[in-house]
Structure 1
Amino acid sequence: MSETITAATAANKPRYPKSIPFIIGNEAAERFSFYGMRSILATFLVAQFFNPTMNPALQTVAEAKANESTHFFVTLAYTLPFIGGLVADWFTGKYKIILYISIVYCFGHLFLAIFENNLDMFLVGLLLIAIGAGGIKSCVSANVGDQFDKTNESLMSKVYGWFYFSINSGSVIATVLIPWVYDQYGPSMAFGIPGLLMALATIIFFLGRKKYVRVPPSGINRNNFVFISVYALLNMGKKKKGESLLDVAKGNYDPEKVEGVKAVYRVMSVFAFAPIFWAMWDQNLSEWVLQAEKLDRHINLGFVNFTILPGQVQTANPVFLLTFIPLFTYFVYPFFDKIGLKTTPLRRIGTGLALTALSFVIIAIVQESVDKGGHPSVWWQIFAYVVLSAAEVLVSITGLEYAYTQAPKSMKSTMTAIWLLTVAAGNLSVALINGNISEGGFFAQFTGADFYWMFVIICAAFFVAFLFISPRLKERSYVGVDDNEVIAETNNL
């Protein structure tokens, strides 16, 4: 009898989908390719194209041009997930988008490796990589969830844990290795290795083609965020007294979906404060790397001495991030909740904005020393990374959680895409500022330390505005309920 029970238990034990190793292997290799390429992008653009003679008089403009190109690249990479997700859901399905766009991705890396002396073709390579990285971004993580059903959904959180571990592992290894390869063997090899890893990622994904659960495209769903919003805007004159602007769409669209769109706009009122965070965070992969070139990067730990390369300093971010996620989840948040300071999502985001500004205060002070001809220790920049990584846990991870809990089931994918658009918006603003600096425009007066102090002031203004607005925002949790259920609104405090 006991043997029969044991056999039955084993038969009912949830099993991991056979496709998971292919998905995780693909993600680790793809993230290596992306972060490896990006770890040297800004420094390469300055040294190869914008100031190859290293003329001090040209350095400020050269760095501004390099930062402009880098942030425009990131802007496009984080705008396209919205489009890629729609195409996959409506027309092609996730598998075809991931496979075909990955091939475009590979060609982008190839262009970087072979056109190191041709700026126009190099920028075409960046465009192709942005299309590749952005086109598949919203599909890859969703593809993980598609592999599960009722029999094994209990394993999903573990698999997502390994999925995100693969992302950070790829980032850490790439940001240590690729700057070293660039220093020792030059740009062709340094850009070529990420290209090989992207080719490997594509091959791994293709090898799992018979293992994937493929959710077929649903066709164009007229009850979506874009269609409902546009209809309401074009028919705003029909709004009755006491109705919201979106209520005019209820006659032509599913009323439940219209209520879902309302929820999206409520969340967007919080997301409006996210672009300043991303405008500042993404500078750690460009502006901070260029600053690191001017620092004393010698590390003396007593038992070991070594000098790190500028592009390797950014490895601090994923390392601190992996440390802070469990620290905040299991210790910091429970501690403040226990003493009566409830760590609501909005309070976390507000605190994150304050820490983001503080990280730039540190960077601005370091830059003041650099501007005076000094070579401060890289440990000061690493300290700024500690603060920025804590801010990332508070803003980025909380923002994703907020997007999920505050949006109805039918709008959760839309909210994730809109969250990625805040990354694009932040990078676009920095790209435009750097473009203005390179052309001698208004922002040209904000160079050196003044550039970073400018962002401190802007972030402080956003923080003050957030303090006034956040107490007036309502939270409405949709976790564990259907779209048509009525959920009581609660004040965030």
Structure 2
Amino acid sequence: MASTPGATTRDRFPPQIPFIIGNEACERFSFYGMRNILTVFLIDYLLRNAVPDEGARSAQAKSLMHLFMAGVYFFPLLGGYLADRWFGKYKVILSLSLVYCLGHACLALFETNPTGFYTGLVLISVGSGGIKPCVSAMVGDQFNASNKHLVKKVFAIFYWTINFGSFFASLLIPLTLKHLGPAVAFGIPGILMFIATVIFWAGRRHYVVVPPTGPNPHSFLKVVGSALRNRKPGSHWLDGATKEHPTEAVEGAKAVLRISALLLPTIPFFWMLFDQKASTWVIQARAMDPQVGPVTFQPSQMQFINPALVMLLIPLLVGVVYPAFQRAGWELTPLRRMPLGLAVGAFSYAIAGYYQVIIEQGTTLNIAWQLLPYIVLTLSEILVSTTGLEFAYTQAPREMKGIIQSLWLLTTTLANVAVAIAAALNVFTGSGQFFFYGGLALLAAVAMALMARNYQVRDYYQEDTSGPVPDRAQPPVATVGEKKAL
């Protein structure tokens, strides 16, 4: 029987997708492998002779760790700009992946040389951060109207792959550091990043390459500049920009300001909590009994709990918990989930702070006790991070979605800079830092809940012109949804 080509290819992923997924799995292993041992390496190796006092050494290691993370989430702004405006995603990913590999090489070769090691961290922050907004966007570029129904599935695989790589890196690389030393522990992630680059390059003949757009004459900054030059008394201050820009661009700029006013004062306090699982929580684990039954855990290894729980909890929340609340008549809308997530994150720090109080009183807790705050923090991550990213995207019209995604990443940069400064000043130590950051997150939760009551929800959906399934692979057309109840 003759086969119908359309029937056999419609439900099959494009042949280039395995190259991108394979690249992502190896790249995420490489990143989390080096990041998750960074705090312990700085304390036990690089800073050991320069800073004899362990308390001061831990504070400095924490500060350096969060400065590095701030760079990782700042450089996506550069990578996304270069890809969208000038060079395209493929060229940016490939070139910055080579920078990324060079950074890993510096870590492995200069483990005893601070200048060489810190150079490696800068190169990795440029490479990892620069490709971050490009890889996921390139996945969407590979689909068209004939297979658009597969986009949601491929992004689920993509997100699962990120946590898969993080899970195994968190388990294996801390053991490598312990038994084989830093050169090998940093070298393995470097090899994985090189493999990731080769896999990505190998698919070069298959990719759908979307050309760069060039400068945007109606960008957010140009609209703001025009509004400042053309003030209109008695109206919104951005309305003056309609003299030089279309109404859609001006309304998009208003959406950016509206979303920024909600997210920028609150979401950084979540990232202050979440990113300290790679620093403050690792330092706490160093003071715990690592023996759990027959297994001896390294302090950095406990971070494996987070990706493992993400893979389990997202289906539970999306498939069971959220629908149950909706059936009960109280829907967990994004503007309810995010403040709730901040409060849940604050609770995780209250638990960890209580553990620290016990440790400071001279009692040695087993490292398995960290499982509970990790569960609570991961629940907070799903409520805030996955919800917030989707919310920020849907609240902006098509022409402003890039700047909104940049602002979302900027919240992480601001959070890590704040933690780095606080750690460098050594303002809070011991249990006090847990309660301090938890208290800030709780205040942010209250503030966000109050601001959300007056927020005008405007969902910009993909305009459906060809059938019942929206084309999520293409840039959405701005169509404003109805205001939803909070």
Question: In the alignment, what sits opposite 1:258?
Answer: 250
Q: What does residue 14 of structure 2 align with? A: 17
Q: Among 379, 388, 400, which residue is 1:411 paired with?
A: 400
2:272–2:415: 8 Å Cα contact kept in structure 1?
yes
Q: Show the counterpart of 2:369.
A: 380
Residues 374 and 265 from structure 1, CA distance in 2 versus in 1: closer, same or farther, beyond 3 angstroms? same
Q: Structure 2 CA distance, aligned partners of 1:480 and 1:389?
A: 30
Residue 342 of structure 1 corresponds to which residue in structure 2?
A: 331
Residue equivalent to 2:232: 239
User: What are structure 1's unaligned runs of at least 5 residues?
Assistant: 438-442
Does the residue aligned with 1:475 lie in a helix, a strand or coil?
A: coil
Q: How does 1:31-70 map to 2 (within 5 A)?
A: 31-52=28-49, 58-70=53-65
Among candidates 215, 222, 246, match of residue 217 of structure 2: 222
Where 1:490 maps in the other structure, the secondary structure is: coil
Comparing 278-287 and 218-227, the one that deviates more: 218-227
Q: 2:278 maps to what in 1?
A: 285
| Distance across 2 between alignment mates of 1:175 and 1:8 | 43
Letter in 2 for 1:298: Q
- Contact map agreement 2:336 2:449 (CA 8 A) in 1: no
Instruction: Please report how far the alpha carbon of residue 432 of structure 1 lies from its aligned counterpart in structure 2 after TM superposition.
Output: 0.9
The DSSP-based 3-state class of the residue aligned with 2:295 is strand
2:461–2:479: 8 Å Cα contact kept in structure 1? no
The answer to whether 1:102 aligns with 2:118 is no
Q: Return 11-20 or 345-354, whichever deviates more.
A: 11-20
Mean CA deviation greater in 243-252 or 382-391? 243-252
Report the CA distance between 1:350 and its aligned residue: 0.9
Name the aligned partner's letter for residue 464 of structure 1.
Answer: V
Could you tell me which residue of structure 2 aligns to residue 478 of structure 1? Answer: 460
Task: Structure 2: state its 5+ residue gaps.
Answer: 465-475
Kept in 2: contact 1:260–1:410 (CA 8 A): yes
- Residue identity opposite 2:431 in structure 1: A
**Cα distance per residue 1:82-103 (max 9 Å; x no partner):** 1211111111000110000110
Count of paired positions = 474
1:9 CA drift (Å)? 5.7
Aligned position for 1:71:
66
Q: Is 1:451 aligned with 2:428?
A: no
Displacement of 1:235 in angstroms is 2.5
Cα deviation for residue 159 of structure 1 reads 1.2
Q: Per-residue displacement from partner, 1:343-384 (whole Å, max 9, x unpaired)? A: 110100011011000000011111112222321122221100
**Mapped partners of 1:78, 1:230: distance in 2:** 26
Runs of 4+ in 1 over 4 A off after TM superposition: 52-55, 482-486
1:53 CA drift (Å)? 9.2
* Matching residue's letter, 1:94: K
Kept in 1: contact 2:47–2:57 (CA 8 A): yes
Contact 2:392–2:408 at 8 Å: present in 1 too? yes
What SS is found at the alignment partner of 1:353?
A: helix
Match of 1:368 among 351, 357, 360: 357
Matched residue of 1:407: which SS?
coil
Alpha-carbon separation, structure 2, partners of 1:379 and 1:80: 36
Structure-2 residue corresponding to 1:181: 176
Whichever residue aligns with residue 23 of structure 1, its letter is I
User: Which residue is 1:151 aligned to?
Assistant: 146
Aligned match for 1:299, one of 287, 292, 295: 292
User: Shift in Å at residue 310 of structure 1?
Assistant: 0.7
Tell me, in whole angstroms, the C-alpha distance in 2 between the residues paired with 1:485 and 1:151: 22
Higher mean C-alpha deviation, range 380-389 or range 267-276: 267-276
Cα distance in structure 2, aligned partners of 1:174 and 1:356:
24
Which sits farther off after the overlay, 316-325 or 473-482? 473-482
CA contact (8 A) 1:471 1:492 kept: no
1:346-357 counterparts in 2 under 5 A?
346-357=335-346
Distance across 2 between alignment mates of 1:101 and 1:92? 12
Instruction: State the secondary structure of the residue aligned to 2:453.
Output: helix
Partner of 1:440: none
Task: State the shift of 1:414 in Å.
Answer: 2.4
1:126-146 Cα distance to aligned partner (Å, 9 max, x none):
000000001110100000001
How far apart are residue 413 of structure 1 and its match? 2.7
- Deviation readout 1:233-281 (Å, 9 max, x if unpaired): x327x2320x212111111112211111211222222312110000110
Q: State the match for 1:26 in structure 2.
A: 23
Partner of 2:241: 249
What's the RMSD between the two structures over aligned residues? 1.8
Q: Could you report, residue by residue, the CA deviation over 1:394-423 in whole angstroms, capped at 9, with x for unpaired residues? A: 000100110122111222232222211111
On the 8 A contact 1:46/1:52 being kept in 2, the answer is no
Matched, 1:204 2:186: no
TM-score by length of 2: 0.94
